Structure 1
Amino acid sequence: MKRLFFVLAASVVLVSCGTKQVKPPLPQGSYQKAQWETKAVVRDLKANKSHTVDIDIQGDYPEKLRMEVKAFMGTAVASLALNSEDIRYTIYPQKKFFEGHASEGSFMPLMNIPLHPRNFMSIAYDTPMRGAGWTCAKGPDGLLAECNQVGKSIKVQWQERTPEGQKKVLITGPTFEMRWLFKPPQTEVQFKDETFVLMAPPEFKTIQLK
């Protein structure tokens, strides 16, 4: 989590899943295109420090995701675009642009969290986490309640849902904790072609993800 806290500090100053990547179907009555306003509190457990960020999400399930991360006073921290297996994101305070094949290590330069970018979409859309070693369970309401990746001690819990669609998500691991509040989704949306396109800003260093 040191990378995320460095980025945020700089910006202020400025059910079971196997090894095969199967796209889970959306819950009955759900939506393909949606956008969310969210707020997350990310805590570094080792350093006992936390920061709050706003994350705007736009999704076209199951292939496309856009995330805009902002810190204090709306300061831009990062932009992310996921198109199937292609991931691109910009870290503005560092003037770096990352691109490559999406994997569990894709976010390491930003958050130091070994979570596949597709699983951020899974969290938003209430679908089981994808990838090796994940097991998931539904709650009494029939909705997804918890997913665990035991081998890496990572847990995702969906909590405090409302009829309007608001929810809280708790993501925990050995060195981090992320408390994520989702406001009710906007589902009457239309996205432009460029919504899920992200290009390297001028003078930013481009880094290939491996």
Structure 2
Amino acid sequence: MMKWFSILVLVLSLLSISCAMKMKKDGSDSLGSDELKGTPMSWETKAAIRDIRKNKINQVTIDLIAIKNQKLRMEASATLGYQVASLVMSPNEFVAVIYPQKKILKGPLNERSLAKTFNIPIPPTALYSIAYDEPIRGWKCQFDANKVVSMCDGGVAKVEWLNRKEGAKLIKISSATIEVTWFFKAPEPKELTPELFVAELPNGYQVQEIK
């Protein structure tokens, strides 16, 4: 009897693992699931940012870490590896460091924080939506065959989720002034440490309050 019970447990375990792997591969399982809400996740990403007015393109590598809808950190570096910008935000605070300009911009989080600091006309909370494959609140959104968000239009800007495959994806942000082509590798869990979401503010930088 014990032998048959052990075999049954083993079979059920294998079926459970197989189902989980299938969900991850076909993209139908979203990181928006409840069990991941308190888990820090990390994405390695690369972005091409085109300033339409200046007709200039910047290539950056961006490490993004987030706890869904709670805290987010981004570290951007140029092709040769030097730091370009840092961003740390929570529901009540937005802190950005622009290294080439030796500037620190900080203030309460609001809808215009990203536009004022990086000229990207999307609400900062849309970064959670982009990373976790969820609709942007207040925008008109469309969904794919798996009922996962594929496009959101906010009027002044549009965000598209493209080429999803085994956790990786391509994001396109389009507006009249800027275009961002943003490639995400599959996310990985990140260990939560006390300093993970603490902004590092260099000495001697100009501090500017944003409202």
Task: Give the TM-score band, short-chain normalised.
Answer: 0.7 to 0.9
Deviation by residue 1:34-76 (Cα, 9 ceiling, x = unmatched): 1000000011222322111000001111210000010121110
Partner of 2:182: 180
Aligned residues of 1:102 and 1:116 also touching (Cα < 8 A): no
Q: Distance between the aligned counterparts of 2:175 and 2:71, measured in 1?
A: 26
1:29 to 1:63, Cα distance in 2 relative to 1, 3 A: closer
1:96 aligns with 2:103: yes
For 2:125, which of 100, 118, 125 is the aligned residue?
A: 118
- 1:200 equivalenced with 2:205 (yes/no): no
User: Aligned residues, how many?
Assistant: 180
1:159 to 144, 159, 162: 162
Structure 2 counterparts to residues 61-72 of structure 1, below 5 A: 61-72=68-79
Partners of 2:31 and 2:164 in 1: CA distance: 17
Match of 1:53 in 2: 60
**Bigger radius of gyration, 1 or 2?**
2
Deviations 1:138-157 (A, max 9, x none): 1112211010112x2x1101
Residues 112-142 of structure 1: per-residue CA shift (max 9 Å, x gap): 1222221112101111113x4x111211122
Separation (CA, whole Å) in 2 of partners of 1:41 and 1:179: 5
Structure with the larger RCO, 1 or 2 (CA within 8 Å, 6+ apart): 1
Q: Unmatched 5+ residue regions in structure 2?
A: 1-29
Give the SS at the match of 1:161. Answer: strand
RMSD after superposition: 1.8
Query: Which letter does structure 1 place at the counterpart of 2:108?
Result: H
Q: Is the 8 A contact 1:200 1:206 kept in 2?
A: no
Residue number in structure 1 paired with 2:81:
74
Query: Match of 2:131, SS?
Result: helix
Name 2:36's counterpart in structure 1: 31
CA 1:28 to 1:121, structure 2 compared with 1: closer, same or farther past 3 Å?
A: closer
Q: Distance in 1 between matches of 2:96 and 2:118?
A: 12
**Cα distance in structure 2, aligned partners of 1:98 and 1:160:** 34
Aligned twin of 1:138:
143
User: Aligned with 2:129: secondary structure?
Assistant: helix
TM-score of the pair, normalised by structure 1? 0.80
Amino acid of the residue matched to residue 179 of structure 2? E
Counterpart CA distance in 2 for 1:27 and 1:101 is 25
Kept in 1, the 8 Å contact 2:105–2:117? The answer is no
Question: Percent same amino acid at aligned positions?
Answer: 37
- The AA in structure 1 aligned to 2:168 is Q
Counterpart Cα distance in 2 of 1:53 and 1:199: 20
Matched, 1:105 2:112: yes
Of 48, 61, 80, the match for 1:41: 48
Higher share of residues assigned helix: 2
Mind listing any 5+ residue stretches in structure 1 that lack a counterpart? Answer: 1-24
